[in-house]
A = this chain, B = another copy of it.
Amino acid sequence: MKTRVYVTLKNGVLDPQGKAIHHALEGLGFSGVNDVRAGKLIELDLAEGVSDEDVEAMCRKLLANTVIENFRIERPESQGAAA
């Protein structure tokens, strides 16, 4: 079962990668870009029976640095709730 985790920097945290992308887009002549933020997308292929709580624990322990990052979990349906 495919589960997607989106990891983004919290507001107020400096994002040099996003700044570099923004600068490069302007250098290529693209106008109308106000801001760019870079984040991560992690696709997990999970066995049946992995609960939502397990996925959240993975995020908190490894996938996201919760001091500076937010994470959002997207599952096809909440099939994993019955662990």
Contacts and interface: CB of A to CB of B under 8 A. Distances in A.
A32 B61 contact: no
Contacts of A57: 30
A75 interface: no
A77 to B, nearest CB: 17
A6 B8 CA distance: 12
Interface string A29-67: 011111111111111111111100010011001110000
Contact of A40 (B41, B61, B62): B41
A73 interface: no
Contact of A36 (B35, B36, B43, B54): B43
Contacts of A21: 42, 62-63
